Amino acid sequence: MSECPICKSHNCIIKDERNGKDSKEVVCEICGKYQISNTAEVTFSNKGRDLFLSYCIFQHNLHQKKPLVINTLSENTLKEYYTFPLNYKETIIKILEFIKEKEPNGFALCSENYHLFGIDTDVAMKRFITRSEDEAIFRYGLTLNDGGRYLELTAKSIKMLDSNGILSKTVFIAMSFNSELMSVYEQAIKPAIEYFGYKAERIDEVSFNDAIFDNIKEKINQCGFMIADFTDNKHGVYLEAGMGLALDKPVIFTCRDIEIDNIHFDTQHFNYIRWSDIEDFKQKLTERIQNIII
Ligand SMILES: [Zn+2]
């Protein structure tokens, strides 16, 4: 066992460098798996515990398959994507995500791991525990030496997990069914979504009868977020995006750049992704999704 260069945990395996690579694979019990450049390994080994980077590696692993590569410039790049520390509500969501993905029976929230959920000090952890216990979001068991507690779900948090779609892994897509845009869906939208472990859902129907409308409403209610592409200027897309906003879902507005002037004036203040071709769309969408899910 070695010491993790980032979080300083001693439950860590650093694989020996092979084939002359200039980076190593690290498997840390706290951060999870990541790659680190040799220069960064030296730099971070001489520094204290880096809560922010450990948080980024852990959160990245919850959502994506490829391990994060840490080099000496990573901190600056990651600051654009990850906020740290998080507020009370955001921490609850991070804990729920972790329980759902990895630890259905709960886990000990303690000084070794509180940063993985966006908490940055012992005092903040104790404050979080007191408040979430008072509000019956979590039930707490035994107190550990460092003031940490064993945490479990309550009826209230189980309901949060089941209902509001915060943790849903589906993405509802509203767009024109024009056959020309099928390749945009298949080659730009779907891969960008699947990269983060989400599944795209699209209703392949043109007419809005009652049964389809209910189906759409349910799918939007259950999704984690929405993508609404306004290329072709279809009325159905406005309706679905509006439903998403009314249900407090994050909605990503997109449109092919040459058609941006066709979109309805009332929606022009939204931060549209203006895309030129499939590659451009995929890249911009991936960046925007990253901002939404973390
Ligand atoms: Zn670590």
Average pLDDT, the chain: 89
Summarize pLDDT for 229-250 with one digit per residue, the tens.
999 999 999 999 999 999 878 8
Percent of the chain with pLDDT over 90: 59
Same domain, 286 and 199: yes
Query: Cα of 256 to ligand 1 centre, how many Å?
Result: 42
For position 208, what pLDDT does the model report? 60
Phi, psi dihedral angles at 203 (to 5 degrees): -95, 115
Give the Å distance between the CA of 44 and the centre of ligand 1: 11
CA of 144 from ligand 1 middle (Å) equals 21
Asked if residue 259 and residue 224 are part of one domain, the reply reads yes
Q: Is 209 exposed, middle or buried (0-12, 13-18, 19+ CB in 10 A)?
A: exposed
Cα–Cα dist 189/234, whole Å:
18
**3-state secondary structure (DSSP) of residue 122:** helix
pLDDT at 146 over 70: yes
Q: Which of 79, 107, 135 is the last residue of a domain?
A: 79
Instruction: Output b/e per residue, 116-150; b: 16+ Cβ within 10 A.
Output: bbbbeeeebbbebbeebeeeebbbbeeeeeeebbb
CA of 88 to the centre of ligand 1 (A): 24
CA of 112 to the centre of ligand 1 (A): 10
**Which amino acid belongs to residue 202?**
R
Read off the pLDDT of residues 163-207 as tens digits, 9 standing for 90 and up. Answer: 655 667 789 999 998 888 999 999 999 999 988 878 899 887 545
Q: Which domain holds residue 224?
A: 170-293
- Tell whether 207 and 271 lie within a shared domain: yes
- Global model pTM greater than 0.85: no
Distance 294 CA to ligand 1 centre (A): 19
State in Å: Cα 205 to ligand 1 middle: 48
pLDDT value of residue 159: 78
- 59 Cα to the center of ligand 1, angstroms: 12
Same domain, 36 and 53: yes
User: Which ranges in 82-121 belong to alpha helices (H)?
Assistant: 88-101
Q: Is residue 6 part of a domain?
A: no
Say what the pLDDT of residue 104 is.
87
Same domain, 58 and 120: no
In this predicted structure, the answer to whether residue 123 has a pLDDT above a threshold of 80 is yes
The structural domain count of the chain equals 3
**Rounded to the nearest whole angstrom, what is the distance from the C-alpha of residue 83 to the centroid of ligand 1?**
19
Contacts of 52 by beta carbon, 8 Å cutoff, 6+ apart: 75, 78, 79, 82, 84, 115
The predicted structure's pLDDT at residue 177: 86
Q: pLDDT tens, 58-79?
A: 999 987 778 899 999 999 889 8
What are the pLDDT digits (tens) for 249-278? 889 999 999 999 888 877 878 889 999 999
> In angstroms, what is the span from residue 31 Cα to ligand 1's centroid?
4
Mean pLDDT, residues 45-68 taken together: 91
Compute, in angstroms, the gap from residue 198 CA to the centroid of ligand 1. 26
- CATH code for the domain in which residue 147 is found: 1.10.10.10
Residue 289 and residue 255 share a domain: yes
Q: What is the per-residue pLDDT for 270?
A: 86
Q: What number is the average pLDDT over the span 127-140?
A: 95
